[in-house]
Amino acid sequence: NAGVMQNPRHLVRRRGQEARLRCSPMKGHSHVYWYRQLPEEGLKFMVYLQKENIIDESGMPKERFSAEFPKEGPSILRIQQVVRGDSAAYFCASSPTGLGTEAFFGQGTRLTVV
Amino acid sequence: ILNVEQSPQSLHVQEGDSTNFTCSFPSSNFYALHWYRWETAKSPEALFVMTLNGDEKKKGRISATLNTKEGYSYLYIKGSQPEDSATYLCAFPGNQFYFGTGTSLTVIP
């Protein structure tokens, strides 16, 4: 059973481009969480999704950021018109049944905006 | 937004010393408390999921206790080793996982 897979591991984008980050949860997990780690800071919640539904997006900036978790395929975190301040490590985690159960993290995608 | 606090922020101990640190969380509407270990350049790894007041869990030299009435959990490491160096995070599930800022542990050989 493969763990949570995130790709790409490293992504470089120029200011104004779009960044797409993918997260494939563990097999059987229908709950996905996205977190951002800014330099010198801890993990900050962005969004919590359950298959095809956004449960909580209170941590996600209202402009330029969106997330989806379609019925088939990975969860996608999309950042439009990236700015230098978006440079960070983005982690996703998955769990089988929601917040009371253990969440497993992916290796993260390190986004650098130049 | 729930307040999950960890202390101390960082800790340096000598190899062989035992150490502990704290996670404080809201005591109302408790559901579970999670501990994670996060090594540099890796992803956070789950250590414990604690659900019952008075719970004590152990994994090797690492153990954790839980007091849901007063809203705190302690993580203990007995006989610290250099490989224990990592950031230890606690997380409190609410509408989302609320993570503390972590305790960064450095074990000096």
Mean pLDDT of chain A: 91
pLDDT recorded at residue A1: 52
Residues of chain A with pLDDT under 50: none
pLDDT recorded at residue A103: 85
User: Tens digit of pLDDT for each residue in B38-69?
Assistant: 988 788 899 999 999 999 999 999 999 999 99
Burial class (CB in 10 A: 0-12, 13-18, 19+), B103: buried
pLDDT recorded at residue A39: 76
Q: Does A39 touch chain B if contact means CB atoms closer than 8 Å?
A: no
pLDDT recorded at residue B100: 87
Of A4, A41, A103, the CB nearest to B97: A103
Q: Does A102 touch chain B if contact means CB atoms closer than 8 Å?
A: yes
